[in-house]
Amino acid sequence: MLMLWGQSPAQPKKILIVDDHVPMRKLIADALGQASDYQIREARNGQEALDVLKQDSFDLVISDVMMPGMGGMELLNHIRAVQSAIPVIMVTAHPATDLTVSAMKNGAVDFLPKPFDIDELTFKVGLYLKEKAFLDETEKRRKDTVLDLKARTEELSLRSYIYDAIESGADDTDRVFEHIVDLALKVVEGDCCLLAFFDDASKEFYPKVFSGNHDRTVVEATVKKLKDLLNEVVERKEALLIHSETRSEIAPSLICAPLLIRGYVFGVLCVRKKQYREAFTQKDLHYILSLTKRASLNIENKMLYESIYSNLLNTFKSLVTSIQTRDSYTEEHSFRMCQRAVEVARAMQCADDQIESLKIAGWLHDVGKIAIPDIVLMKPGKLTDEEYAIIKTHPDIGVQIIRHVILFEREVTIIQHHHERWDGRGYPNGIAGEQIPFESRILAVTDTFDAMTNNRPYRNALSVEVAIEELKKNKWTQFDGNVVDAFLTTL
């Protein structure tokens, strides 16, 4: 037989012959031995065959039906439980239609009556062995496909987990870096992890977050030892996978990956594998790269958002300050009201995002007054109905000023409705009760209290005691009573 280099010889097929009649077993064994290179085993009855099957695997079984002890039909049932894929050929000297049907139903591939043509038997043995080989190969490919699909699914699931974990991480920038380190350790089963910032001006690395059982001195010493590797990561802007074979101080392996914003390396993430574990693989490297790329994008987006957000807020605060040049009360009032609104929100256990929105809305709630004429805004006496109607436009004017800023969408709604009343007699829309945004109801109380307790062009300040009584008197008419109660606990 011609065999190519590297090709393994085909393993002989193994056949089990089960028959209580020794001459019949020998006849079948000799015939099969002449037809091909089969490995033949023999058994005298079903129980003996079952014992053999439990110890070894076979490619085909030829069994008599009528045998002492365990017969062929009972053996067939056991074979289906032990090695269900084995083709079984049944032979008998007493063929009957119902017996044939029963054998086929129980999984026999063929049923031959004695005496049978030995050539027919060898032909069918070869046929069923080829069929089994084909099915085995098909099943192997199916299992390989399933394993490949499982591996791909696991990889996609882990990448998805990385993305979701980064996106749903802490908003605080320092916590973001801690989250990246914790996530890196989980994803690749690391022992310790270091995130170091890179200063391009000094070409130095500064440890930001370290996870492991070491103090800062050890961490700084580690950074010095790894500086050549860190510099290589910065220069190449690519990750490195290093094993102990090339760097003896690294055991068993280390991944160093860059954190980049717009092509500039601002940090390096280093993860070391747990000792006495297998070294990092290329798959581990890809996972860390997925993490650092996603984290870098998330940090860039946060920085961009915070920059835009801060610039916009400062712009609108400048507008409030410009009102102060005409009415000094407005900016000071906005600052005081903002502080009180935050205290009430905390007393009512509001979420952090609600409190942040209240801060902004508190600062900007009167920005619309920039369009109110001085003759009305600064009038020392009582306003006429026409003048009061002009004053009442300031929430809508404020909305018009900031409504195009998507970042302040929530704050726009709060500002628009901070002069609504619980009984629906407020402005600008006359909505009532819980139709009024919750944060607007808080501003309504703090705005009114601050206005009552400070001097205005048209009247002097009321005492705190009188202002408190006014708030209590207007619970559930002008104000949300629950907000008033919470406000009073903050005084």
Spatial CA neighbour of 132 closest among 225, 15, 260: 15
Domain edges within the chain: 14-137, 173-303, 326-489
Is residue 90 within 8 Å of residue 108, measured between CB atoms? yes
Tally Cβ neighbours within 10 Å of residue 365.
30
**Fold of the domain built from segment(s) 14-137:** Rossmann fold (3.40.50)
Tokens of 326: 């005409």
Place of tokens 């798959």: 283
Beta bridge partners of residue 242, listed in sequence order:
254
Name the class of domain 326-489: mainly alpha
Is residue 207 within 8 Å of residue 196, measured between CB atoms? yes
Query: For the whole model, what pTM was predicted?
Result: 0.46
Residues of the chain with pLDDT under 50: 1-8
Is residue 447 within 8 Å of residue 395, measured between CB atoms? no
What pLDDT score was predicted for residue 127? 85
- Per-residue pLDDT of 360-373, as tens digits, reads 888 888 888 888 88
Query: What are φ and ψ of residue 119, in 5° steps?
Result: -65, -40
d(CA 170, CA 54): 58
Q: Write the DSSP symbol of residue 350.
A: -
Tokens of 480: 């949300």
Q: Which helix (H) or strand (E) holds 55?
A: helix 46-55
- Per-residue pLDDT of 151-210, as tens digits, reads 666 666 666 766 676 766 656 666 788 888 888 888 888 888 889 989 888 899 988 888
Q: Write the DSSP symbol of residue 459.
A: B
Sign of the CA dihedral with 402 first, then 405, 408, and 410 last = positive
Tokens of 417: 């409705």
Beta bridge partners of residue 204, listed in sequence order:
199
Task: Looking at the structure, give the CATH architecture of the domain made up of residues 173-303.
Answer: 2-Layer Sandwich (3.30)
What pLDDT score was predicted for residue 350? 94
Which residues, including other chains, have CB under 8 Å from residue 140's CB and lie 6 or more apart? Answer: none
Beta bridge partners of residue 211, listed in sequence order:
193
Please name the amino acid found at residue 36.
S
Distance of CA 179 to the CA centre of its chain: 13
DSSP states of 468-488 as a string? Answer: HHHHHHTBTTTB-HHHHHHHH
Report whether the peptide linkage leading into residue 252 is cis, meaning its omega lies within 30 degrees of zero: yes
Distance of CA 255 to the CA centre of its chain: 22
For the chain, the first-to-last Cα distance in angstroms comes to: 100
d(CA 17, CA 32): 11
